[in-house]
């Protein structure tokens, strides 16, 4: 393992519990266009692959179905306006960011740019990150490695020097494909056993364990 020189975080489910705000905005969008509501748990199960896939799954339509477009736009407008009504940082998130502040930190999320910026500003997170890459900033989203490769380029570091920290399969798969070290953190969205099956470099039960892990890896690495 190369010596970790930067840490990249996912947002939803990793740093942020955004379940209720996402679900309520999605249901308001569905109702506005005459479609039935989904349960919060159903919508939460659609989170992680970007807003368009969330909406198409909630509608049970193909991603390319043109009917998705109008509902998607309503969802994006509504969610951007109500992104931090109930959303809160997950336990240990602020402390982990503060503890790792001596390293370059980045954010790599599939969340749309406008909503990402609203959340970062409202929760005083933007100051922690040298690079923020949101959904739509690259043509592909996680689990494609392209977003992480773009983060590495903007940081001026090889991908192998990055630790990708996330709560979902998208994060582990993208990190591995990009050549990063991968850390899966159990959050409110994905069960622990699902993450374990992906064999990340480390599997943590909370962000409070992350700073010590990164420091240990940095001390043990030979290059």
- The catalytic site residues sit at 10
Q: Which residue, chain included where needed, has tokens 């393992």?
A: 1
Instruction: Compute CA distances 176 → 37, 46, 48, 165, whole Å.
Output: 36, 22, 17, 11
| 3-state DSSP percent of the chain in helix, strand and coil, to 5 | 45, 15, 35
Q: Which two tokens stand for residue 135?
A: 């959904």
CB 129 within 8 A of CB 107: yes
Give the closest residue to 162 by CA, choosing from 139, 182, 140. Answer: 182
Strand order in the sheet with 6-9: 131-135, 105-112, 6-9, 162-166, 181-185, 202-204
Which SS3 state, helix, strand or coil, does residue 7 take? strand
End-to-end Cα distance, the chain: 8
11 burial type by CB count under 10 A (0-12 exposed, 13-18 middle, 19+ buried): buried
How far apart CA 94 and CA 105 sit, in angstroms, is 13
């Amino acid at each position: 393992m190369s010596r970790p020189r930067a840490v990249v975080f996912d947002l939803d489910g990793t740093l942020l519990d955004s379940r209720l705000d996402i679900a309520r905005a999605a249901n308001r969008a569905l109702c506005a266009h005459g479609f039935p509501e989904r349960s919060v748990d159903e919508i939460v199960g659609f989170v992680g692959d970007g807003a368009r896939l969330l909406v198409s799954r909630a509608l049970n339509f193909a991603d390319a179905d043109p009917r998705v477009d109008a509902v998607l736009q309503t969802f994006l407008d509504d969610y951007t306006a109500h992104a931090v009504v109930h959303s809160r940082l997950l336990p240990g998130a602020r402390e982990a960011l503060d503890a790792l502040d001596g390293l370059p930190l980045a954010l790599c999320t599939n969340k749309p740019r406008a909503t990402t910026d609203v959340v970062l500003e409202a929760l005083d997170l933007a100051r922690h990150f040298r690079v923020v890459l949101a959904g739509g900033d690259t043509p592909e989203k996680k689990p494609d490695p392209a977003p992480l490769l773009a983060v590495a380029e903007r940081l001026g570091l090889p991908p192998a020097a990055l630790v990708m920290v996330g709560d979902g399969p998208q994060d582990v798969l993208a990190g591995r494909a990009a050549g990063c070290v991968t850390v899966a953190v159990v959050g409110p969205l994905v069960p622990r056993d699902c993450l374990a099956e992906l064999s990340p470099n480390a599997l943590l039960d909370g962000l409070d364990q992350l700073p010590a892990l990164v420091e240990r890896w940095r001390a043990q690495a030979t290059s």
